[in-house]
A and B are shown apart, each in its own frame.
Chain A
Amino acid sequence: MSFLGKAAGRPIPGRIGNLPSLHLVFPAHTRAVRQALEQVLGALPADQIKDDLRASIELVLAEVLNNIVEHAYGPEGSGVIELEMIACEGGLWFRTLDDGAPLPELPPGTRPDLGGPPAKLPEGGFGWFLIRDLTQGLAYRRRALRNELHLGFRLDGRCPANPFLANDE
């Protein structure tokens, strides 16, 4: 699957040097999600973003994007996902946009309980737990029939402000 389009990065001045912003548009398929993840990691230099944070970002985005593929559009559906990344003061923020089914509410993401017999071990329910555990900012809104999910990662001591809420277009 090839990408439908991609905005060129433009540098954002600030604490994290000149990390470009990113804007990807791709079909809602697991293979395209893999490519999108590669693009994101390629835009995060290892000397500026530590390995552990890169790993968290990769995992959270994988969970979010694959959720959209599976649930927003469903087995019969097809659609497009937009993924934006903005680096700003003390934080790295991502926004996903899709035209799929709405999320009634943000799942609580409690860690699934592993007690009980091995035959009853849970095979699911880990996605939202990982998303909540590894992000320092999380917001959902539905606007004009689109789902928007905002994900924030802290880069230094402060809690980063959500740039996607800053200017409401």
Chain B
Amino acid sequence: MELAFTDHDDLRVIKAADRRIDAAVAIQFKDKMRELTADAPPRILLDLSAVDFLDSSGLGAVVAAMKETGEGSRLELAGLTTKVRKVFTLTRMDSVFTIHDDVASVLAGLADAG
């Protein structure tokens, strides 16, 4: 499970490189996310633009990651592909997470604010 991050001031962008976040890798995803958010950056953006497929295990892992970021940290999502977005919509999780079209628009927002 490949997750790489870049920091932009208070924003940490974590990019999921695996094409599938499913039962085969859900636990590794959770563990890796925990590592990458342990120092509690105030705002975390999970870039899912390379992820083609996510099942209920993957969804549960993303929810777990969100719950683990804890007080003072926000986990947001970006770049949901069609099949991934479908899972969030069906389960109504799209009303729980802040979902951006892409990382670029979030970074542009930072630049405007700064």
Give A residues with C-beta under 8 Å from B: 30-31, 33-34, 51-52, 55, 58-59, 62-63, 66, 69-70, 111-112, 114, 118-119, 121-124, 126-127, 129-130, 133-134
With known contacts A118-B67, A119-B67, A121-B96, A70–B91 Cβ distance under 8 A:
no
B60 touches A66 (CB 8 A): no
Q: Nearest chain-B residue to A59 (Cβ)?
A: B55
**Looking at the complex, which one of B53, B60, B66 makes contact with A124 (CB distance below 8 Å)?**
B60
Cα distance, A55 to B57, chains bound together (Å):
16
Give B residues with C-beta under 8 Å from A: 20, 22-24, 53, 55-57, 59-61, 63-64, 66-67, 82-83, 86-87, 90-93, 95-96
With known contacts A112-B91, A114-B95, A127-B56, A121–B66 Cβ distance under 8 A:
yes
Q: Nearest chain-B residue to A55 (Cβ)?
A: B83
B67 touches A59 (CB 8 A): no
A33 touches B82 (CB 8 A): no
**Looking at the complex, which one of A34, A111, A118, A126 makes contact with B20 (CB distance below 8 Å)?**
A34
Residues of A within 8 A of B23 (CB): 30, 33, 62, 66, 69-70
Cα distance, A69 to B22, chains bound together (Å):
13
Give the residue among B22, B56, B86, B90 with the most A Cβ atoms within 10 A: B56
A-B contact count (CB 8 A): 70
**Looking at the complex, which one of A33, A59, A66, A121 makes contact with B87 (CB distance below 8 Å)?**
A59
A62 touches B91 (CB 8 A): no
A-B contact pairs, 10 of them (CB 8 A): A34-B24, A112-B91, A123-B63, A124-B60, A126-B56, A126-B59, A127-B55, A129-B91, A130-B56, A130-B87
A58 touches B83 (CB 8 A): yes
**Looking at the complex, which one of A52, A119, A130 makes contact with B91 (CB distance below 8 Å)?**
A130
Residues of B within 8 A of A30 (CB): 22-24
